[in-house]
């Protein structure tokens, strides 16, 4: 089976709990010395309306969203069939959600809105001057 290309949506077996669902190929094509793995952004029909979910209406997808919080890396053998491809602008929206989830914003990007850690039972206190 050919390896998926970045921006393609494949039907993938994501395991018992995650079921078989569409996934957007996010990773680059491996080189000969790399492990042959594919990182996917899964598509869900159980939309919660979070800032990490990106709705991309496509004929080949059920109503739902790509969930940047559900990133998964699988072997290509878990990919069943290619469903389609996202346009560059659509891909950019998903990439931005992934960056937001992973805290990879650069200068000029949207700031992280995660709440600051607080002290108290079950909470860790952030030390002043520590890198976050």
Segment 13-23, tens digit of pLDDT: 988 676 899 99
Q: Which residues contact 119 (CB under 8 A, 6 or more apart)?
A: 125
Of 116, 113, 122, 95, nearest to 7 (Cα)?
Answer: 95
Answer whether 72's CB lies under 8 Å from 19's CB.
no
Q: Which helix (H) or strand (E) holds 88?
A: helix 88-102
User: Are the CB atoms for 117 and 123 separated by under 8 Å?
Assistant: yes
Considering the domain delimited by 8-102, tell me its CATH architecture. Answer: Roll (2.30)
For residue range 29-77, list pLDDT tens digits in order: 999 999 999 999 999 999 999 999 999 999 999 999 999 999 999 999 9
């Amino acid at each position: 089976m050919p390896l998926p290309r970045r921006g393609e949506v494949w039907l993938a077996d994501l395991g018992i709990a995650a079921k078989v669902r569409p996934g957007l190929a996010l990773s680059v094509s491996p080189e000969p010395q790399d492990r042959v793995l594919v990182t996917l952004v899964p598509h869900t029909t159980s939309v919660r309306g979070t800032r990490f979910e990106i709705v991309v209406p496509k004929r080949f997808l059920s109503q739902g969203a790509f969930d940047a919080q559900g990133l998964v890396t699988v072997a290509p053998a878990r990919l069943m069939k290619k469903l389609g491809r996202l346009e560059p602008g659509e891909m950019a929206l998903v990439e931005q959600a992934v960056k937001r989830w992973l805290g990879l914003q650069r200068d000029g990007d949207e700031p992280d809105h995660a709440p600051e850690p607080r002290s108290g039972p079950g909470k860790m206190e952030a030390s002043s001057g520590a890198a976050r």
